[in-house]
Amino acid sequence: MKGGKPRTMRYGAAILAAVMLLALALGCAARNAGEPDGGAGGPAAAGEDAGAGGRSRDGESAIAGAEDEANHNGEDAANGETAHAEDDGAGADEPAEPSVQADIPSLAEAYAGFFPIGAAITPEQTEGLMAELLKKHVNMLVAENVMKPSILQPTEGQFRFEQADKIVGFAKANGMEARFHTLVWHQQVPAWFFYDKDGKRMVDETDPAKREENKKLLLERLEKHVRAVVNHFKDDIKSWDVVNEVIEPADPGGMRNSEWYQIAGIDYIETAFRAAREAGGPDIKLYINDYNTNEPAKRDRLYELVKELLDRGVPIDGVGHQTHVSVDWPSAASLIESMRKFAELGLDNIVTEMDMSLYAWNDRRDYGDNIPESVIKKQADRYREFFEAFRNNKDLVSAVVFWGIADAHTWLHDFPVQGRTDAPLLFDKNLQAKPAFWSVIEAAKE
């Protein structure tokens, strides 16, 4: 017993070492045998759940919560796609560098026989790759924000035209038409418009005489703003959104219950149109612009308003249909039906702010880096539906303007879900043509 214990321990250690070596060898063989089947980053995984145009949406937000992730994974599984983003190889390769494709058709040229193609832009986009993309594909521009009242006249009597002038100058230099958006809106309007001479909010006034005095003051301020802005741009801009989003069927009388409306009724709309015509002359075209114009309740209330104003002799030339749609809603036919109704009044129709969200309004999912191919295809099919309708009704539609040009910049990022990105446009975040682009090009072919 005295010498047996060390000897037994030595034998045991030797046996244990041999077993461990054998297990290690078997493990290596099994791992090597599995590599060709495509683990994370392997051949089978690379390219799965690719985003627009076959590119993974590298660097965009992940699914926000457990419930959203369950819904997202369930849809992927139903489409035969991998259920776990971390296993599909997305992001394994270096992100593609943004570039402008020179060897693809021009949108503006494809629709030259039908109507102009436009885009909303920021002043910064008049330089660099985004500018090159715009020069290739559009022949109409509108400012996304810098022509709105809060930018142009943040303080009463002090106008700031520099940023808007940059966009107009870029359009002129590249043979593009410019549109104006917008002279009057209930948002992005400076508060000073709505305070009386004593610094009190006009909407809080209860005395009838003072309310009438406030209304007069508000309309005077509005007229001065409209005249100054139209005089500044009238030689370069012929198409104007005069008032924006004045209809809200859920509000009293179907009119948006903004401060404009509470103080002045529909007289503010009339004042804006008349001042624009007087300042700009007969050659500029004046539009009333709104969203969801395909919905019967909103369309019909807008129709009633426009007809009433026309009967008063208010100079309205057309209706702007924003056309912020989704892959699920609405039908193109419903929009054309609305356009036809306004055309019966002798009015022009423009698609002023088109984009197409991947998500229905009440959908809180987030595809993150992996937009299902079924959704990309659906978006392409839906864009084809709309542009075939526009092409077939070119007598109703005088222009189609996108609210943006590429998914790198869109107001739909974070809206209505904070932290979520969207992909509503024809070019992806690297400025590459998506399937939706090719659908729109195909739709131009009769």
Catalytic residue positions, numbered: 245, 353
CA gap 322, 292 in Å, rounded: 7
- Do residues 411 and 353 lie in contact, with contact meaning Cβ atoms separated by under 8 Å? no
Smallest Cα–Cα separation from 327: which of 367, 287, 299?
367
- Do residues 327 and 356 lie in contact, with contact meaning Cβ atoms separated by under 8 Å? yes
Residue with tokens 């969801």: 292
In 3-state terms, what secondary structure has residue 264?
helix
Smallest Cα–Cα separation from 142: which of 401, 427, 349, 413?
401
With DSSP H G I counted as helix, E B as strand and the rest as coil, what are the percentages for the chain, rounded to 5? 45, 15, 40
CA gap 104, 159 in Å, rounded: 41
- Do residues 186 and 245 lie in contact, with contact meaning Cβ atoms separated by under 8 Å? yes
CA gap 114, 7 in Å, rounded: 96
| CA distance to 324, 346, 355, per residue, from 395 (Å) | 22, 12, 22
Sign of CA dihedral 272, 300, 147, 332: negative
> Which residues lie across from 318 on neighbouring strands?
287, 348
CA gap 262, 256 in Å, rounded: 9
